[in-house]
Amino acid sequence: MAPLFYSQPILNSPYAPPTRHWELDEHRQPVRIMNGRRRADFITPIPSPARQRRATGDLFKSKAAKAISTDVQTYEDNELINSVRAAVEKWRALPDPSQWKVTPETARLLTHWRTHDFPGIRPFFCQIEAAEIAIWLSEVAPEYAEGRRILERIAQTSEEANPGLARIALKLATGAGKTTVMAMLIAWQTVIESEIVKGITSCPNSSEHG
């Protein structure tokens, strides 16, 4: 382990995208500081699906993951997470809200979370990113071929693990503020739903159609 790690374990501000990370050796110990964000390339255990995995299920598996997988437990790397991160990073960098492919209400929320001068506690980058990913998957991804491929992959994995039950998970570290993320998502959904209701009630003869 690098001696510098003990005196400087934290490299990034919690309020900005990470720009540096500790490179890990084969024993998962920090050895040197590297530029850029760490890839989600660690191996995580994935429970075997309820039914036989289709042939396309191996598309995102690395050779290392395949080598340690068994009939009882499947190990899969996180290439899908890296694909989502990269897509959201490019989308986040778009300067013009009209390019975001979201509703005007969502655009206002995103602008508020990203740029507002909060007088007290302000959202961490990881909290904003979690909300951004949920929004991107819902409003933006269907508009692009790359996004549709990601959504198809998520739907396939969800169907294999829990047939008939679609699920998307957002994972944050302990203490990162998951409750705040839930509040942000509730605010987003509330604004969207209220605008839908407003649009329905403002339509001509809307009362006649119930």
pLDDT of residue 80: 86
7, part of any domain: no
Do 78 and 93 meet the contact criterion of CB atoms below 8 Å apart? no
- Give the C-alpha distances (Å, rounded to integers) separating 5 from 18, 32, 49, 132: 17, 8, 39, 31
5, part of any domain: no
The number of folded domains in the chain is 1
205, part of any domain: no
pLDDT of residue 206: 47
Cα 30 to Cα 1: distance, rounded to the nearest angstrom: 5
39, part of any domain: yes
pLDDT of residue 24: 85
pLDDT of residue 20: 96
Rounded to the nearest 5 percent, the helix, strand and coil shares of the chain are 50, 10, 40
- pTM equals 0.76
Which pLDDT tens digits describe the chain residue by residue (210 residues)? 677 888 889 999 999 999 999 998 887 789 999 999 988 876 555 555 555 444 444 444 555 555 555 554 555 557 888 999 999 999 999 999 999 999 999 999 999 999 999 998 899 999 999 999 999 999 999 999 999 999 999 998 888 888 888 888 888 989 999 999 999 999 999 998 877 666 666 655 544 544
Residue numbers of the domain that contains 167: 25-199
204, part of any domain: no
pLDDT of residue 141: 96
20, part of any domain: no
pLDDT of residue 199: 62
Cα 37 to Cα 6: distance, rounded to the nearest angstrom: 20
Cα 22 to Cα 7: distance, rounded to the nearest angstrom: 13
139, part of any domain: yes
16, part of any domain: no
Tokens describing residue 187: 């605010």
